[in-house]
């Protein structure tokens, strides 16, 4: 592991800033989860996506998930109502002008993320921090697409965000101490545990998890076992809460493929080569739960293996 001995200092020399308002770009599974936990922790949240309908759908998801938390007595009804009032739609990036922290949670495609940063940076206040929820892409490289690499950091939440306790923090080569300290304080206020990762492809969790999933797909591809046998073996034999193929469907097969491609290209090691069967499923549009078909077919009353 490479240890960076000298970190850039803040441009202003100021101590960690106080985060009050957060902008979230992307109202899908990850973005809505980030907005959810942030609002429950007392932050004002502005939620953005490509359309008003997507934002409404994201807020509806948050409402439903918070209602489940109330029914399970994890939060009170008063806390749910107060948190929902803290979340407001942001149909354009101009709504982020007074935000202290922006978290990008768009699709795991570098070109998309870079285009977002190019569009959002001009409307942000000078000291606003930009965080990316990327699960695999270089933080240093993404930071170079902004006007504030010192104020850029990787904030990788685990899925589902309201339930998972871990957040990976990843500094780019230019990330300054103020940005790092401020982001640590934000994550701590969410009640999450921080794992520090260096800026290498896929960081820690996905560097370990995705090759395991890819190997499970190779095991299926080579006929060692069928979908049900592989998932049962890992649930009961390794005590995993979810089999690797079921987990791949939950993550999204397109995301799994993107992470494996980043690993393969970034580390130039054949052990990270995406399984051809994973490529075929993605080409077919069978991306898992979000498209109702992946390694399981979710269109009936219960999931049915597709192989």
Q: Which of 10, 38, 41, 206 is catalytic?
A: 206
Q: Any catalytic annotation for residue 51?
A: no
CA distances from 243 to 137, 256, 269, 292 (A): 26, 15, 26, 18
| CATH architecture, range 21-197 | 3-Layer(aba) Sandwich (3.40)
Active site residue 108: no
Q: Of 38, 133, 135, 214, which is the active-site residue?
A: 135
- What CA–CA distances, in Å, run from 19 to 81, 127, 290? 22, 11, 33
The CATH classification of domain 205-305, taken from the options 1.20.1050.10, 1.10.3720.10, 1.10.260.40, 1.10.1040.50: 1.10.1040.50
Alpha carbons 25 and 105: distance in angstroms, whole number: 6
Of 167, 154, 152, 196, which is closest to residue 4 (Cα–Cα)?
196
| 165 carries an active-site annotation | no
Of 156, 214, 246, 258, which residue is the catalytic one? 156
- The predicted model scores a pTM of 0.88
The full set of domain ranges for the chain reads 21-197, 205-305
- Catalytic entry in 168, 214, 246, 258: 168
Q: What is the pLDDT of residue 11?
A: 46
Q: Quick one: pLDDT at residue 12? A: 43
Is position 156 annotated as part of the catalytic site? yes
- Per-residue pLDDT tens digits of the chain, which is 307 residues long: 434 444 444 444 555 678 999 999 999 999 999 999 999 999 999 999 999 999 999 999 999 999 999 999 999 999 999 999 999 999 999 999 999 999 999 998 999 999 999 999 999 999 999 999 999 999 999 999 999 999 999 999 999 999 999 999 999 999 999 999 999 999 999 999 999 999 999 999 999 999 999 999 999 999 999 999 999 999 999 999 999 999 999 999 999 999 999 999 999 999 999 999 999 999 999 999 999 999 999 999 999 999 9
């Amino acid at each position: 592991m490479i240890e960076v001995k000298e970190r850039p200092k803040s441009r202003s020399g100021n101590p960690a800033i106080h985060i009050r308002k957060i902008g979230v770009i992307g109202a899908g599974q990850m973005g809505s989860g980030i907005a959810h936990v942030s609002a429950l922790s007392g932050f004002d949240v502005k939620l953005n996506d490509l359309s008003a309908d997507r934002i409404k759908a994201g807020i509806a998801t948050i409402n439903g998930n918070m209602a489940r938390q109330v029914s399970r007595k994890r939060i009170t009804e008063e806390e749910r109502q107060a948190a929902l009032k803290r979340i407001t739609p942001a149909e354009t990036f101009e709504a982020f002008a007074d935000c202290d922290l922006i978290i990008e949670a768009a699709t795991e495609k570098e070109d998309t993320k870079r285009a977002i940063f190019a569009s959002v940076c001009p409307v942000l206040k000078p000291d606003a921090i930009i965080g990316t929820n990327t699960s695999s892409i270089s933080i240093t490289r993404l930071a170079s697409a902004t006007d504030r690499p010192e104020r850029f950091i990787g904030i990788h939440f685990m899925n589902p965000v309201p339930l998972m306790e871990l957040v990976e923090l990843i500094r780019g080569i230019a990330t300054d101490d103020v940005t790092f300290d401020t982001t640590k304080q934000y994550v701590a206020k969410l009640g999450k545990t921080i794992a520090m990762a260096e800026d290498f492809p896929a960081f820690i969790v996905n560097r370990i998890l995705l090759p395991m999933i890819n190997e499970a797909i190779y095991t299926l591809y080579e006929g060692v076992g069928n979908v049900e046998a592989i998932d049962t073996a890992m649930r009961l034999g390794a005590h995993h809460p979810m089999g690797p193929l079921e987990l791949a469907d939950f993550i999204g097969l397109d995301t799994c493929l993107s992470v494996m491609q980043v690993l393969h290209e970034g580390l130039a090691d054949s052990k990270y080569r995406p399984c051809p069967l994973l490529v075929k499923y993605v080409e077919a549009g069978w991306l898992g739960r979000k498209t109702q078909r992946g390694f399981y077919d979710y269109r009936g009353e219960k999931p049915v293996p597709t192989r």
